[in-house]
A and B are shown apart, each in its own frame.
Chain A
Amino acid sequence: MSAVLPQHGSHDHSHDHDHDHGPLKGWRRWVFATNHKDIGTMYLLFSFAMLMIGGILALCIRAELFQPGLQFFNPELFNSFTTMHGLIMVFGAIMPAFAGFANWMIPLQIGASDMAFARMNNFSFWLLIPAAIMLAGSFFMPGGAPAAGWTLYAPLTLQMGPSMDAGIFAMHIMGASSIMGSINIIVTILNMRAPGMTLMKMPLFAWTWLITAYLLIAVMPVLAGAITMTLTDRHFGTSFFSPAGGGDPIMYQHIFWFFGHPEVYIMILPAFGIVSAIVPAFARKRLFGYTSMVYATASIAILSFIVWAHHMYVTGMPVTGQLFFMYATMLIAVPTGVKIFNWIATMWRGSMTFETPMLWAVGFIFVFTIGGFTGLILAMAPIDIQLQDTYYVVAHFHYVLVAGSLYALFAGVYYWGPKWTGVMYSETRGKIHFWGSLIFFNVTFFPMHFLGLAGMPRRYADYPMQFADFNAIATIGAFGFGLMQVYFFLFVVVPMMRGQGAKAPQKPWEGAEGLEWEVPSPAPFHTFENPPKLDVTATRVVG
């Protein structure tokens, strides 16, 4: 191994990587990939493809709801759309997208040469492909795709056709993939940091992912247990959840949400990490309260295990149960608030510029906080009982999942994209994508608060006519939002992947800090093959 480490300030990278160990040629490079950057790229492309499929399903839902009355789909197919939209977005789009970011950025950020288990890394990605095919292919199975809602509540799942089994199997595989990916991330972070990169100097993105990975390992097996019991109830005569045999359908909900609530944080904590990297970079000022950010993240993760039943107030809990879960849920507002305050304190008296990544990050803080407030309102058990299973809940979780997770993912793509591809995106196109998405997002989801307050139930293929106008507005917004993402793919992603655009410097952002900016753009195939020597802040390579 004769790799020469990239020297700080040196723009000569003709010897950056070992030419004897370059990528394989053709399809072998991808199928046999063990390089964290290639696997990261595949994760990101996979998740974008799933985002498009899930998005098309969402548009089918919105098209049907544009006007009252059934225009396009029968109610059973409509239920399949809502179910598959949820499953595909959660397990196919958002989670793998963050795994893609982790693969690309964690080794670069902590000065490691690659992920700890390179072959397992390959396996965790390639498992997703058969799982996704099985999940999306269930539409073509007899009886159609699962239509029991993404939460897969028993005993409705026991009535589903054979596609339910395909869906359960697909989720088992995706869970295995997530667990392997998480083990890989934990081992990489704990063992492969460059000398001098102590845990409390680590970039927050690595921190949030470390905590997320622990959450994943803790709760994915819980989901696997719940859906396996559903499977045996369906085929092997057990009665875990089937009341006909003495089973308890509510037990399913407890187990599911014991997974489901930490899952919510699995989808948002890495987003916090991305935003925590971007805000200081464009405020040209260090992140305010780094230590409290780490502790706040950990507190959110721990609290996420004791709030699950706030999804179940209307199942009829004892009064003490309702009170406990209400208080615990409200507590989560405290560490989440700390994060928002820290980001704003970072911006305070900075020297800000608003390139596209910063726009997305500020957009994230603004719109995510609205979702946070509606979350606080929903945490109040009496109000939740009024609003549970209405469009208010739909509005709430899209404010935190789309305007939260997805906005942060876009922010990250614009922020690190130049490092990945070696070219700058077009700033004008980035801004069109941001403003278009921001406006259409709010046009789509803001009216849903009103629908929910007025009592329109979710997962309805048809609705009383008093709800018609807000539904029409939401549908128009949804199609606009969908078009903006097509625009993003055609006019931002494709040009960057083809290398069209200004050449990206090693560090395109004036205020950015971290080891990823110590390697050239695009990042060479192999980086940090020998542990780099770091300065005292662990943000630069010295000597």
Chain B
Amino acid sequence: MNKMTNKTWKSRALQGTAALALAAGTHAAWAVNDLIGGPARNQVDLHPSVTRIGAEVQGLHQFMLVICLVIFIAVFGVMFYSIIKHRKSVGHKSANFHESVAVEIAWTIVPFAIVVVMGLMATKTVVAMKDTSNADLTIKTTGYQWKWGYDYLKGEGEGIGFLSSLDVAQRNMSDAGKPAGDDYLLKVDNPLVVPVNKKIRIITTANDVIHSWMVPAFAVKQDAIPGFVRDTWFRAEKTGDFYGQCVELCGKEHAYMPIHVKVLSAEDYTKWVEAKKKEMAAKADDPSKVWTLEALAERGAKVYAANCAVCHRPDGKGAGPIKPLDGAAVVLDADKTKQIGVLLNGQNNGTMPAWKGLSDTEIAAVITYTKNNWSNKTGQIVQPAEVVAARK
């Protein structure tokens, strides 16, 4: 009887603890698994590295952890020993020493020697990280508010260029407060694709404010600075998908411009380059083409969803400081150059960024769309040629 009560009590206590842990960790609410190449669930250490530099950083970190832990235990062992033994309540009388030059010199020299060793350990890696020479493939990475642009400058795939933004569904889930999926906030429309075991040099720059390009599994992080170019490099030793995020505060949508790098084998990479080049050729719009209102507005709806809806909302009503487009004077204005000017140059100190990075057809399409959607029924059409003219 007694035994049973004991058992029940124990299982109750276990249940209670489990419930507490659930409440504390909100475990039950989030069905999520490790993301290979991205964060693992409740990960407590650096990412498994897929580059040599990453492995070196991990080694350094472990070395530092061990040294710090040893010093920590030694120093606080002494302190807590003293706290337990040298207290008044156990009748310890205070000694009367308060100086010792020898001891002072010793505990200046020894830590000095330790930090010199630490510094020397790190030096080799610092130099290796900075060596961006002899790259097999050079890619320019441009930070925009709030997406990444990739241009393949040199090496296999030269000439390829595309934008990479967060999958729109992710942003909507975030707004709704209903996140789902292992790659939540990490899924992009066009990942950066690179070949395995090749030295990839990443040149960073930015269009508006400072961004920072990070992929933890590669131990790569480099600020992207407007008006300046910087570079870094990696050589991925495994194929697969690897994820990172922008890590320099870049405004409102800072949390929504992830990085997805797809590492392919050499053959797969070659296939991808061929396919991508064909796709780009097919997609290239002729800016002198004359469109019908319906076709252009349909194209514009896609451009709007990918670029504008985040701030101006899908219903065109805006939010907070973001102005509505539905019923806006500049959109309804018969002088089409006004709206073209806003898109090309931005407005309000960049609160509305300049969108001159979009193609002439895309700008024409999205303006046509906003002029003929929601309650806006202007019937106006902006042809790509008008954007070309405005750019001059």
Q: Which residues of B contact A511 (CB under 8 A)?
A: 94
Q: How many B residues face the partner with a CB closer than 8 A?
A: 115
Q: How far is the CA of A283 from the CA of B315 in the complex (A)?
A: 69
On chain B, the residues within 8 Å of A240 by CB distance are none
User: How close is A260's CB to chain B, nearest CB, in angstroms?
Assistant: 15
CB distance from B371 to the nearest CB of A (A): 27
**New A-B contacts (9) at CB < 8 Å, excluding given A347-B83, A464-B185:** A67-B29, A158-B349, A161-B321, A330-B118, A362-B83, A377-B65, A385-B221, A386-B46, A386-B219
Residue in A76, A247, A469 whose CB lies within 8 Å of B25: A469
Question: Which residues 145-186 of B have a CB within 8 angstroms of A?
Answer: 173-179, 181-186
Pairwise interchain contact B130-A70, C-beta atoms closer than 8 A: no
Check B42 for interface membership: any CB of A closer than 8 A.
yes
Which stretch of B4-12, B72-80, B291-299, B377-385 is in the interface? Answer: B72-80
Complex contact B94–A351 (CB within 8 A)? yes
Min distance, Cβ A84 to any Cβ of chain B, angstroms: 14
Contact assessment for B225 and A249 in the assembled complex, using a CB-CB cutoff below 8 Å: yes
User: Could you give 27 example pairs across A and B, Cβ below 8 Å?
Assistant: A74-B252, A75-B252, A143-B321, A153-B249, A155-B210, A158-B349, A160-B349, A249-B210, A249-B227, A284-B88, A289-B99, A314-B223, A315-B230, A316-B204, A316-B230, A316-B232, A334-B112, A344-B82, A346-B98, A351-B88, A377-B61, A380-B60, A380-B64, A454-B46, A462-B179, A464-B183, A464-B184
Contact of A333 among B38, B93, B111 (CB under 8 A): B111
* B98 and A290 form a contact (CB under 8 A): yes
A348 pairs with B98, CB closer than 8 A: no
Q: Do residues A159 and B350 form an inter-chain contact, with CB atoms below 8 A?
A: yes
Partner of A340, one of B45, B47, B75, B127: B75
- For chain A, the count of residues having a C-beta within 8 Å of the partner chain is 109
Q: Is the CB of A457 within 8 A of B99?
A: no
Q: In the complex the two chains form, is B45's CB within 8 Å of A453's CB?
A: yes
In Å, the complex CA distance between A284 and B86 comes to 11
Chain A: residues with CB nearer than 8 A to chain B?
66-71, 74-76, 79, 142-144, 147-149, 153, 155-156, 158-161, 234, 243-244, 246-250, 283-292, 314-316, 318-319, 322-323, 326-327, 330-331, 333-334, 337-338, 340-341, 344-354, 362, 365-366, 369-370, 373, 376-377, 380-383, 385-386, 388-390, 450, 453-470, 472-473, 476, 511
Q: With A and B bound together, what is the CA distance between A465 and B210 in angstroms?
A: 26
The 0/1 profile, CB within 8 Å of A marked 1, for residues 23-45 of chain B is 01111011010110011111111
Please judge, given known A-B contacts A76-B320, A463-B185, A469-B27, whether A315 and B223 are in contact too, CB under 8 Å: yes
- Is the Cβ of B32 less than 8 Å from the Cβ of A319? no
Instruction: Provide the residues of chain B in CB contact with A341, threshold 8 Å.
Output: 75, 107
Q: Which residues of A contact B321 (CB under 8 A)?
A: 76, 142-144, 161
Assess whether B94 is in contact with A285, with CB atoms less than 8 Å apart.
Answer: yes
Pair B254/A459 contact, Cβ less than 8 Å: yes
Q: Which of B88, B228, B250 has the most CB of A within 10 A?
A: B88
B189 adjacent to chain A (CB < 8 Å): no
**A314 and B212 form a contact (CB under 8 A):** yes
Using A144-B321, A159-B350, A326-B122 as known contacts, say yes or no to A457 and B43 having CB atoms under 8 A apart.
Answer: no
Which of B82, B184, B252 touches A348 (beta carbons < 8 Å)?
A: B82
B residues 223-269 in Cβ contact with A at 8 Å: 223, 225-228, 230-232, 244-256
Q: Tell me which residues from 187 to 210 in chain B have a Cβ below 8 Å from any Cβ of chain A.
A: 204, 208-210
Residues A250 and B228 in contact in the complex (CB < 8 Å), given A153-B210, A316-B222, A455-B214: yes
Does B129 interact with chain A (Cβ within 8 Å)?
Answer: yes
A389 with B219: in contact, given A249-B226, A468-B32 (CB under 8 Å)?
A: no
Cα–Cα distance between A341 and B103 once the two chains are bound (Å): 10
For A372, the closest partner residue in chain B by CB is B68
B87: CB under 8 A from chain A?
A: yes
B42 touches A470 (CB 8 A): yes
**In the complex the two chains form, is A450's CB within 8 Å of B44's CB?**
yes
- Return chain A residues, CB-CB under 8 Å to B68: 373, 376-377
Docked pose: A508 CA to B245 CA in angstroms:
55
Chain B residues with Cβ below 8 Å from A248 are 227-228
User: How many whole Å from A321's CB to the nearest CB in chain B?
Assistant: 10
* B104 on the A face (CB < 8 A): yes
Contact A148 to B119, CB < 8 A, known contacts A340-B75, A348-B86: no
Residues of B contacting A74 with CB < 8 Å? 252, 319-320
